[in-house]
Amino acid sequence: MNAERASSVFWLAVGLISLYGSSLLGLGTFHEPGSGFLPFLAGCFICLMAIIVFLQSFIRGRAQGKIAALWAGVNWHRPLIISFAILGFILVLENLGFILTSFLLMFVLFKWVEKTSWAKAIFIPGLVLSLTYLVFDVFLKATLPKGFLGF
Amino acid sequence: MDFLANLIAGFSVALQPTNLMFCFLGVFVGTLIGVLPGIGPVGTMAILLPVTYGIAPTTAIIMLAGIYYGAQYGGSTTSILVNIPGEAASVVTCLDGYQMALKGRPGPALGIAAFGSFIAGTFGVIGLQLMAPPLVSVALRFGPPEYFSLMILGFVVLTYLAQKSMTKALLTAGVGILLGTIGLDTMTGMPRFSFNIPELLDGVGLAPLAMGLFGISEILLNVEKKIKQELLTTKVKGLFPNWEDWKRCSLPILRGTVSGFFLGILPGGGAVLASFVAYAVEKRISKHPEQFGKGAIEGVAAPESANNSAAQGAFIPLLTLGIPANVVMAILLGALMIHNITPGPMLVKEHPQLFWGVITSMYVGNIMLLVLNLPLIGLWVQLLRVPYAILFPLILYICLIGAYVINNSVIDVTIMLLFGVVGYLMRKFDYEPAPMVLAYVLTPMLENALRQSLILSGGSFGIFMVRPISAGCLIVAAGLLGSSLLPMIRQKREKIVAEAEEDE
């Protein structure tokens, strides 16, 4: 699908959903605008702009080509792996604890995403973890999750 | 006399040991991220936003401001030595700075960039100090309709100056407004779009939003491609420009300083626009335009001066009207609001220590930057050798921990990841995230101004047109929107954008 049109359809959907959501909140009157008044105006504006972007892709010939072309010639799998690694970090952080989760995340990034040596993949996360533990836990007294192992 | 008294009062705040330390930390981190490609001042300020929660507001703003103007200094180093701009405002410095380095003159290029930045930065602070108080007295006459119209003008100017499509910039501003309405409605107490998630009742946090849109998305984009790090092997020596260099650069520095300062004040303006304009002006009025792009020292002096004075000028609308001129100022506005301080005309009366303390800290910060950038140039050059493969996991990790410690909640980390992916996709599809963040930050003020205006007028939108300042702002905004539709102006604007992209 054409990238320009696909993005405009996505934003149009966002605009329409916000129109529906804001109408549920209550628009109020011009004299006394309700909670949904501004979101409704924003939704209308998003829809209008999305339609213009959609039309521009035909009228002004500004089509960027297919969506696939945006990822042609780049290592598209790397941002994908990193996004999933962060998602994994979020899911296990409070169960495994700050130290173990952080180490695992950085180890994965250094060893499997960046393909550094074993020594670097272990030493750099270890050093960074020690520093962040000092800054956040010792100095800033931030409550970092301990996890079931107790650290 | 007032000027002197304010200056003394400001220095008494700026020179306190804690503030000096955080000012140094700010300009140091600013220079660092200016030097390192792959992370800009916006991302860094967003990452460090949670750190400021536990310190005094004046100290927090001194540090965050230091990051911003420090990055303008540091950005020139990579432009000159590696031909990679450390941040957007230094893009144009690559053109002649790198050519000077190739010709064996990296020292004078770095020197004139640092001295030009120092001179412009200092004049910028003086301008800020002189212009802010009169503007405050004007701003005190502003009511809700004036604020509303001024904010609308700000949105339009920002999108008019957007690098890519104006329609897309307007669209993302609309999405930003929508995001800004998430959470409890301050007037009715009704939760909006919070999906029964308690953490969303306070709205989407600025820090996770900005860290996602500018920090995480930048990492995701950078890891797709290989970042070339071609470090110049020539030894950097002779940082002091010679007499001939000074003769050639004195007027470009002056012109860059003045134009940069006023472009910085403009909503939507800022350092990037200022550096491009200063370069274009110098090239146009030069007796030897053919030397530009081949190592003309004026091509380094003018944009570097302009981006620094613009960085100071951008503080004027924030400190006097409470309206951020660009996304960096939007983050500063957010930082002030986190500390329950509302920027605007009352700031100078209610928090004079913060107002004058922050301004005078910039004098101190500029001196620190000169010291940091000239003698320590060797250190920055060494830092350029750190591969991005080592840097990005560390930046990513700091983002994750930073987002978590805001509320000790994984919801903030999830929001950051979500907006990281959204920001990445937006950039892939040529949508700029800056208008979204600016709109998001301004929405609470915009909504209050709109509602109060309508209540005042009994529901009539005519109130925005019967008050002269408000009407003036809306007419200018409509004029800009209208002019962008005229084929001649649209083509000219697109040509400028295309040229800027070619330069990049």
Neighbour count for residue B324 (Cβ, 10 Å): 27
The answer for B 177-196 residues in CB contact with A (under 8 A) is: 177-178, 181, 185, 187-188, 190, 192-193
- The Cα B461–Cα A77 span in angstroms is 51
Q: Kindly determine whether residue B165 and residue A31, on different chains, have CB atoms separated by under 8 Å.
A: no
The pLDDT of residue A46 is: 95
pLDDT at residue A10, as a whole number: 94
Residue recorded with tokens 């053109």: B95
* Residue B239 lies inside a defined structural domain of this protein: no
Burial class (CB in 10 A: 0-12, 13-18, 19+), A81: middle
Domain that holds residue B209: 2-227+244-503
The position carrying tokens 């250094």 is: A110
Q: Please indicate if any CB of chain A lies within 8 Å of the CB of B53.
A: no
pLDDT tens sequence for chain B (504 residues): 577 787 888 889 889 999 999 999 999 988 888 777 666 777 788 777 777 777 888 999 899 889 888 887 777 887 788 776 666 677 788 888 888 888 888 888 888 888 888 888 888 888 888 888 788 877 777 888 998 898 888 788 777 766 678 888 899 999 999 999 999 888 888 889 888 888 888 888 888 888 888 888 888 988 887 666 555 555 666 778 888 888 888 999 999 999 988 888 876 667 777 888 888 888 888 888 888 888 889 999 999 899 888 888 888 888 888 888 777 888 888 888 888 887 877 787 788 888 888 888 888 888 888 888 777 777 777 777 777 788 888 888 888 888 887 778 889 899 999 999 999 999 998 888 888 888 888 888 889 899 999 988 888 888 898 988 899 989 988 988 887 776 555 565 555 555 544 444
The reply to whether B455 touches chain A by the CB within 8 Å rule is yes
Distance of CA B432 to CAs B172, B176, B418, B427, B496, Å?
Answer: 7, 12, 16, 6, 17
Structure tokens at A4: 């320009």
3-state secondary structure B83-141: CCCCCHHHCCHHHHHHHHHHCCCHHHHHHHHHHHHHHHHHHHHHHHHHHHHHHHHHHCC
pLDDT for B495 equals: 58
Amino acid at B166: M
Find the largest Cα–Cα distance for chain A: 68
- Written as six digits, the tokens of B1 are 């006399």
Q: What is the ipTM of this complex?
A: 0.92
CA atoms of B206 and B436, how far apart (whole Å): 12
Chain A CB within 8 Å of residue B497 CB = no
Neighbours of B247 (CB within 10 A): 10
Position B362 in a domain? yes
pLDDT at position A8, please? 92
Q: Rounded to whole angstroms, how far apart are CA atoms B324 and B328?
A: 8
Question: In chain A, what residues touch B415 (CB-CB under 8 Å)?
Answer: none
Flag if B393 and A114 touch (Cβ within 8 Å). yes
Percent of chain A clearing pLDDT 90 (strictly above): 32
Q: How close does chain B come to A105, measured CA to CA in Å?
A: 8
**Binary contact (B428, A30; C-beta < 8 A):** no
A30 chain-B contacts, CB cut-off 8 A: 454, 459-461
A126 touches chain B (CB under 8 A): no
Residues 457-486 of B with CB under 8 A from A: 458-461
Question: Would the CB atoms of B174 and A144 count as touching at under 8 Å?
Answer: no
Cβ burial B17-35 (10 Å sphere, 16+ → b, else e): eebbebbbbbbbbbbbbbb
Identify which of B117, B160, B196, B45 has the alpha carbon closest to the alpha carbon of residue B367: B117
Number of structural domains chain B divides into: 1
**Residue A31 is nearest to which of B171, B396, B458, comparing CB atoms?**
B458
Q: How many CB pairs under 8 A join A and B?
A: 161
Count of beta carbons in the 10 Å neighbourhood of residue A92: 17
* Residue B230: predicted pLDDT: 58
Q: Domain locations in chain A?
A: 3-71, 77-139
Residue of A nearest to B420 (CA): A83
Minimal Cβ distance to A132: which of B177, B178, B401: B401
d(CA B241, CA B111): 6
CA A79, A85, A89, A91 dihedral sign is positive
**Which residue of B155, B199, B428 is the best one to mutate when testing the A interface, meaning the one whose CB has the most A CBs within 10 A?**
B428
> Which is more confidently placed, A120 or B87?
A120
Q: Are B394 and B47 in contact (CB under 8 A)?
A: no
The answer to the question of residue B315 being in a domain is: yes
* Cβ-defined contact of A35 to B188 (cutoff 8 Å): yes
Angle at B323 (CA atoms; ends B162, B438), nearest 5 degrees: 40
d(CA B47, CA B215): 8
B413:A29 CB<8 A:
no
- Angle separating helix axes A37-59 and A3-25, nearest 10 degrees: 160
B contacts of A11 (beta carbons < 8 Å): 171, 175
Question: How many angstroms separate the CA atoms of A99 and B494, rounded?
Answer: 50
Whether residue B402 lies within 8 A of chain A, CB to CB, comes out as no
What's the pLDDT at A150?
67
> Using one digit for the tens of pLDDT, what is the confidence trace for A106-117?
998 888 888 888
The pLDDT value given to residue B127? 86
Measured CA to CA, the distance from residue A59 to residue B212 in angstroms comes to 34
Distances in whole angstroms, Cα of residue B178 to Cα of each of A18, A131, B203, B263? 8, 39, 11, 29
How confident is residue A7, by pLDDT bands cut at 50, 70 and 90? very high
| Residue of B185, B400, B405 with shortest CB distance to A35 | B185
Which distant-in-sequence residues (6+ apart) come within 8 Å of B183 by Cβ? B191, B192, B194, B200, B201, B202, B203, B204
Q: Which helix (H) or strand (E) holds B436?
A: helix B434-457
Say if CB B435 and CB A97 are below 8 A apart: no
Write the Ramachandran bin of B304: left for phi over 0, alpha for psi from -120 to 50, otherwise beta. alpha
Say how far apart CA B153 and CA B146 lie, in whole Å: 10
CA distance B75 to B78: 6
C-beta atoms of A31 and B219 within 8 A:
no
* B233 located within any domain: no
Q: Which of B178, B393, B401 sits opposite A46 (nearest CB)?
A: B178
Residue ranges of A 35-74 with Cβ closer than 8 A to chain B: 35-39, 41-43, 45-46, 49-50, 52-53, 56, 62, 64, 70-71, 74
| Residue that the structure tokens 């507001």 belong to | B57
Q: Is there a contact between B450 and A45 if contact means CB atoms under 8 Å apart?
A: no
Which pLDDT score, from 0 to 100, does residue A49 have? 93
Identify whether B221 is part of a domain. Answer: yes
Determine, yes or no, domain membership for B74: yes
Of B454, B433, B452, B430, which Cα lies nearest the Cα of B179?
Answer: B433
User: Under an 8 A CB cutoff, do A30 and B459 touch?
Assistant: yes
pLDDT of residue B175: 95
Q: 3-state DSSP call for residue A33?
A: strand
Number of CB atoms found within 10 A of residue B302's CB: 37
Q: What distance lies between CA A10 and its chain's CA centroid?
A: 16
Please, are residues B94 and B101 in contact by the beta-carbon 8 Å criterion?
Answer: no
Q: Which residues pair with B192 in a beta bridge?
A: B183
Q: How far is B83 from chain A (nearest CA, A)?
A: 22
CA dist B207 → B180, B182, B416 (Å): 13, 15, 8
Q: Are B302 and B278 in contact (CB under 8 A)?
A: yes
Looking at CA atoms only, how far is residue A40 from chain B in angstroms? 9
- Among candidates A64, A90, A128 on the partner chain, residue whose Cβ is nearest the Cβ of B397: A128
d(Cα B158, Cα B321) in Å, to the nearest integer?
17
